[in-house]
Amino acid sequence: MEEEIVTMPLIGDAAPNFKAETTAGEINFPKDYKGKWVILFSHPADFTPVCTTEFMTFSTMQEDFKALNTELIGLSIDSIYAHIAWLRTIKEKIEYRGMKDVEVTFPVIADLKMEVAKKFGMVQPNASTTQAVRAVFIMDPKATIRAILYYPLSNGRNMDEIKRLLIAMQKSDAENIATPANWQPGDDVIIPPPGSCGSAKERVETEEEGKYCLDWFMCLKKQS
């Protein structure tokens, strides 16, 4: 029996198209999300503790993501009925770190046949052949994959980091800048390196409000 080869789209690729049944009805990606950023994330299984903490946290941050023109889509290899029962349990019974009565309203894909999970490389046989790993795909308004994060089954994701990365990418797109290590909104940003000796010299010598250079290749800009 041949071993199944796991493939996944890469950063810069067009995200795979799919139609799927979810807890919010059928969705057609990317058609239904035209002009929006999308965070598609998978979880191993319903009624599991790590996934429960993740869904509660994502749900309480949903309005923050909407303010960033971003929609959330969850996925696991479970039925629509299991999803509904689990989400009702979260709302009715689970209290965690001050979060309670949490209603998950973003769509959760029922992917029993693994069709969507396999398109995105979310099923990795050495981890599990029946569960999706904790994958995160961030897609821009053109449905291009801009970031991919993978976590093992045993460890929950940092939702604040996902939000920070989203804000950083949106700022880079809007202002043609890069962000340094550990960047947070309001921190100084990096001006793209010069492409020639002449522009390098000009960059260092030219004064610009808020700009400062540590060397010819590394100039930053203060944020107001």
Binding-site residues for substrate sit at 134
User: Which letter does DSSP use for residue 78 in this model?
Assistant: S
φ/ψ of 204, rounded to 5, equals -65, -35
Write 150-155 long-range contacts (CB < 8 A, 24+): 152/127, 153/44, 153/50, 153/127, 153/128, 154/50, 155/50
Residue 51 annotated as catalytic = yes
Residues 6+ apart with CB under 8 A from 143: 14, 15, 29, 30, 33, 38
Query: Which candidate in 51, 197, 213, 219 is catalytic?
Result: 51
Interatomic CA distance for residues 159 and 144, integer angstroms: 21
Catalytic residues: 51
